[in-house]
A = this chain, B = another copy of it.
């Protein structure tokens, strides 16, 4: 299968960062050029590689392609995925060492990352040089906090079925920003074990829940691709609100 071709064409990979950041602020020509220069130096990592180790001083990066996650391990091996990092997402960029080092960032698929040290120094040294980038990164951080609140609600007060649907809606929404949703399809390159660790469920239960959702005609899930069949039903099931992602709130909060 070649469903990943699109995501691995270099120009479109770069688009992930571009789309993500320009979704949050209007970027000047100079800023776009800066990002372009930045993304010349990419590095690849295999699945399971720790991009940031828990307790280590973090290196600022931006994810170009592939999926990663922030995660925490309990003493006996239980894992909780705090959040997913999708193409275009910065990772420990302009974060205090304290926050970044508090949980590990791990590649879930093969990932391409950009070293963003230059961006970080440019922004901390003089915040007026790239005002658009500064704003975009700040809003990105806010988005992050909102998603974390959603995660808490999911884990605390939603059933397995609702959790799964809600997470899929979140991923669809976020992938849409970086143009990775085509029609009602989007890539989903993770195993059911990973979904289990994100949703606080067992692998077996994730499997059965997904089957139920498919049987109810809400979506298809084959070959690493999700196809939404009944968006309205999914939104009703998951108690989804458009502001759940914070897009509208973000825009209104800027002006």
CB-based contact B158/A155 at 8 Å: no
CB of A149 within 8 A of chain B? yes
CB-based contact A97/B157 at 8 Å: no
CB-based contact A200/B157 at 8 Å: yes
The contact string, 1 if C-beta is below 8 Å from chain B, for chain A 180-200, is: 000000000000000001111
CB-based contact A252/B155 at 8 Å: no
Chain B: which residue is nearest A248 at the CB level? B98
Query: With the chains together, A253 CA to B55 CA distance in Å?
Result: 11
Identify which of A34-42, A77-85, A207-215 touches chain B: A77-85
CB-based contact A142/B72 at 8 Å: no
CB of A96 within 8 A of chain B? yes
CB-based contact A152/B148 at 8 Å: yes
The contact string, 1 if C-beta is below 8 Å from chain B, for chain A 107-126, is: 00000000000000000000
| Set B80, B98, B246, B252: member contacting A153, Cβ < 8 A | B80
Interface size for chain A: under 10, 10 to 19, 20 to 34, or 35 or more residues? 35 or more
Q: Chain A: interface secondary structure?
A: helix
CB-based contact A157/B99 at 8 Å: no
CB of A239 within 8 A of chain B? yes
CB distance from A60 to the nearest CB of B (A): 14
CB of A231 within 8 A of chain B? no
CB distance from A177 to the nearest CB of B (A): 15
Query: With the chains together, A197 CA to B153 CA distance in Å?
Result: 10
Residues of B within 8 Å of A80, CB to CB, are 152-153, 156-157
CB of A32 within 8 A of chain B? no
CB-based contact B149/A103 at 8 Å: yes
Residues of B within 8 Å of A82, CB to CB, are 149, 152-153
CB distance from A77 to the nearest CB of B (A): 10
CB of A15 within 8 A of chain B? no
Residues of B within 8 Å of A81, CB to CB, are 156
Closest 7 A/B residue pairs (Cβ)? A156-B200, A98-B253, A155-B155, A98-B249, A97-B253, A80-B156, A80-B157
